[in-house]
Amino acid sequence: MIRAYARSDPATSLHTVVAMIDPDADRPVYKQLADLVRGQIERTDLRPGQRIPAEQFYVAEYGISRDSVRRAMASLRNEGLIITTPRGSRVRPERHLAEVIITPGTLVTARMPTEPERRLLAIKEGVPVLVVQRDQGDPELFPADRTAIRATGE
Amino acid sequence: MIRAYARSDPATSLHTVVAMIDPDADRPVYKQLADLVRGQIERTDLRPGQRIPAEQFYVAEYGISRDSVRRAMASLRNEGLIITTPRGSRVRPERHLAEVIITPGTLVTARMPTEPERRLLAIKEGVPVLVVQRDQGDPELFPADRTAIRATGE
DNA sequence: ACGTATTTGTACGTATGTATC
DNA sequence: AGATACATACGTACAAATACG
């Protein structure tokens, strides 16, 4: 259960329900914040491409440490839900997937790229690679945020 | 380039080449350590299933902070290279993949599971899910460390 | 059964660097 | 130049889980 309190803004007379974070809960603070922001993304309260509040916002809003905020954001990055740059974080934009055709016999797996592979292939955190092993040759790697695999009859 | 120094152990008369970490290098300390351990895993100096030294070992060995060690290990976890429990970390054991057969038309993508999905499906950090979208029905999820997709003619 | 040691997990603090607006 | 925001890196403290004597 997510705790909340109601807040009124005297300037706008708007009432807002603000989720709370309970430092004494069983779930760690940083996971509570991750859950909260993940929920906002899944409900599209935060839409693809939209800016996510700065770390300091969450520090001030919930009275938690920057460390906890950063660990929450790291979780969301690793889930592929947000993208972070030194200018801030955004909800990951909608994916446009190019299709790669595979023929019968082809084997497909997925794994996370190593950090050097990420740099080499310009892959963001939280994005797996599809590993396509065709009958003979070496496995080919495709970033999963740009690629879908389509099976054909021949 | 990884810097190193030679060390002699008077008790055993063994000479060892020990990699070093340069706090003044362009590459961050924690990435240098991640590179170092990743290399040991790729060269199978550290084998699948084998115990990885405790955080304190790296703190003492390289004179870096626990924070840096933990961030290096977090990187390797997110790359799916190691598994960490409250008792320590190990090189991820060899995968045994069950094959899932797909017929022509089927679409396959991959993404990282959310943290709640991970708990639900008992998926470890650094393991993507394969998303199999058959002609009609809902997408099915398969943990990529237990599943390979095989395309067939019909 | 019980305490102890080991190891990772969480959470706070501080400081400084870097990139961008 | 200054403000903003994230990145790195050091420190501390205590909690939780597990293995062992």
Is A144 in contact with B109 (Cβ distance < 8 A)? Answer: yes
- A113 interfacial to chain B (CB closer than 8 Å): yes
Q: If you write DSSP's letter for every residue of chain A in order, what string do you get? A: ---EEEEEETTTTEEEEEE---TTSSS-HHHHHHHHHHHHHHTTSS-TTPEEPPHHHHHHHHT--HHHHHHHHHHHHHTTSEEEETTEEEEPPPP-PEEEEE-TT-EEEEEPPPHHHHHHHT--TT--EEEEE-SSS--EEEETTTEEEEE---
Give the pLDDT of residue B11: 44
- pTM of the complete model: 0.90
Give the pLDDT of residue A48: 96
pLDDT tens digit sequence for A86-107: 899 999 999 999 999 999 999 9
Give the pLDDT of residue B109: 98
B1-7 — which CB contacts under 8 Å span 24+ positions?
B2/B32, B2/B35, B2/B36, B2/B39
Residue A9 has pLDDT above 50, yes or no: no
pLDDT band at A23 (very low <50, low <70, confident <90, very high): confident
Is B144 in contact with A79 (Cβ distance < 8 A)? Answer: no
Residue A77 has pLDDT above 90, yes or no: yes
pLDDT band at A4 (very low <50, low <70, confident <90, very high): low
Residue A23's nearest CA partner among A54, A77, A78, A65 is A65
Which of A109, A127, A150 minimises the CB distance to B148? A109
Strand C nucleotides, any atom under 7 Å from protein beta carbons: they are 6-14, 17-21
Give the pLDDT of residue A42: 96
Mean pLDDT value of segment A49-58: 96
Taking 70 as the pLDDT cut, the residues of chain B under it are 1-18
